[in-house]
Structure 1
Amino acid sequence: MIGADGSTTRNSPRVPWWPLLREAKTAPRVRLLVFPHSGAGPNTLFPLVRPLPGDVEVLGLSLPGRERRFDEPPGCRLDQVLDSVADEVLGLDPLPTVVFGHSLGALLATRAARLLGPHCRAAVVSGQAPGRTTRRAHGTSTDEDVVRLLREGGGTPQWVLDDPEMLAHVTRVLRADIELSRESATGFEDVRLDVPLHVLGGTADPLIPHEPLDGWADHTTGACQVLRFEGDHFFLLAEAHRPTVVDVLRRALTEG
């Protein structure tokens, strides 16, 4: 489960966690924080933010071991992700902020939304279960389990699966992200937001069942809208569904 943008440039350890993914074309009115899925960098979700209005500033979470941080050892803790939000996002000019996360990114986005407090106006979560729902990825224990998850979950380019060196790297990254996901899901049933919540899921997702998605309403005191799409774990990137997902993001960016 990785997005291949071919970005393997060597960088120093000082590369930010929150690089600019898309600069606003005019004075920014609102900020969107993008939290990618396990094994991926934020550029994987770029097709969904490219069509957004020109007054939206987009920042993407870049975890170690991918894209700009390809040469860094993979792995981090939840508190490091949240510290990066506090240090690199809250330190910027204050703007109304919306969080958008897919899979692992949905767990991280929800945690970050709570940290952002009144700065957060809405949250969009995709491909992730609420509460204590069982998550298939958390049952992996070996490299073989991880590779099977990659193949069955979809979203991984065939050239990555066919390249032993790249597959080994992706496996290390994904194992680290699964540990981060386990940590982020611990106690998640007690996480509550006070903002509108938009929930997206695939009806044929082999990793996350779509039936419990309505349970996301328990994670906010605000309105909760659940949309189900025909498709697997990466339904949101399917060409047929992209316009609807972009419309959800547009609505979220105008709330509050």
Structure 2
Amino acid sequence: MRTCRAPRLRLICFPHAGGSAGFFRSWAALVPDDVELLAVRYPGREDRFAESPARHMADLAEPIAQASMKLDDTPLALFGHSMGATVAFEVTARLADAPTAVGPAALFVSGRPGPGKTRSRHLADATDDRLVEDLLAMGGTSAEVLANPELRELFLPVIRADYRLLDAYRSPVPPPALAVPVVAYYGAEDGHVDEDGVNAWSAVTRSGFAARSFPGGHFYLEQHAAALVTDLFTHLDTNTSTPGSAMPAPKTPRRP
């Protein structure tokens, strides 16, 4: 996505169900010059199209964590949207337990309720029309793609596979208390995520929690990418020098 010779931080981004690394391409112009931007390519899409999508969360999170452990010369921050929030959380938990020189600096989760608050919508086996209707309502997927029979034939199996993975996923009980600060974001008009669900992420950290809402629905970050990235670095700029240091925990999500 965006490399630099001697980064002070690497920001790894995790896309949503059916999403690809290219979703974060615009962020390359938004992050500071000394930050390296990476985005995860899930199997079954982009240059991994020939691979079968992951069936279980461990199949997805474990290889990403192993690859991330090799980047132990620079602090890492992880950002995940929707399904990507859960994948980023699972990867962060693995990294936090690993004997690496530099632990995760922060975990940013977006558009996803915290552990114990997610509800399956059982869309993996829905009809094509029902699935397309839901995707159009949520946004984030080009209407042109969904209207094109050939592109839809390629795309729908991938998102069905991601939905099956999420249906099968069970968050750890009790959730691990990570020594990693966590910040949660969501769209104020997102019908799938509310304040209670967002605040459930506070249970996964013993190192500080904050939350913020933005105007918009599930894909609020498309309209507010610049403001969102700016907010990420208000937290990172005070935490990357001492990974794991605490952040204040507001009582309710703040609004822009």
- TM-score bin, normalised by smaller chain: 0.7 to 0.9
- Name the structure 2 match of 1:250: 233
Worse overlay, 223-232 or 210-219: 210-219
TM-score, normalised with respect to structure 2: 0.82
Worse overlay, 221-230 or 49-58: 49-58
- Name the structure 1 match of 2:254: none
User: How many angstroms apart in 2 are the aligned matches of 1:194 and 1:226?
Assistant: 17
Cα gap change, 1:27 to 1:111, in 2 (>3 Å): same
- Name the structure 1 match of 2:61: 82
Residues 122 and 253 in structure 1, CA contact (< 8 A), matched pair in contact too: yes
1:68-94 CA-partner distances (Å, limit 9, x unpaired): 223333334322223322432212352
Correspondence 1:31-42 to 2 at 5 A: 31-42=10-21
Structure 2 gap segments, 5+ residues each: 97-101, 244-256
Residues 203 and 231 in structure 1, CA contact (< 8 A), matched pair in contact too: yes
Number of equivalenced pairs: 233
Cα gap change, 1:138 to 1:84, in 2 (>3 Å): same
Q: Does 1:120 align with 2:104?
A: yes
Cα gap change, 1:129 to 1:86, in 2 (>3 Å): closer
User: How many angstroms apart in 2 are the aligned matches of 1:196 and 1:49?
Assistant: 23
Cα gap change, 1:130 to 1:61, in 2 (>3 Å): same
TM-score, normalised with respect to structure 1: 0.82
| Percentage of pairs with the same residue | 31
- Name the structure 1 match of 2:76: 97
Residues 24 and 39 in structure 2, CA contact (< 8 A), matched pair in contact too: no
Q: 2:37 aligns with which of 33, 49, 58?
A: 58
Structure 1 gap segments, 5+ residues each: 1-20
Residues 136 and 208 in structure 1, CA contact (< 8 A), matched pair in contact too: no
User: How many angstroms apart in 1 are the aligned matches of 2:33 and 2:127?
Assistant: 43
The secondary structure found in structure 2 opposite 1:201 is strand
Structure 1 vs Structure 2 CA RMSD: 2.1
Residues 123 and 163 in structure 2, CA contact (< 8 A), matched pair in contact too: no
Kindly state the Cα deviation for residue 193 of structure 1 after the two structures are TM-superposed: 1.8
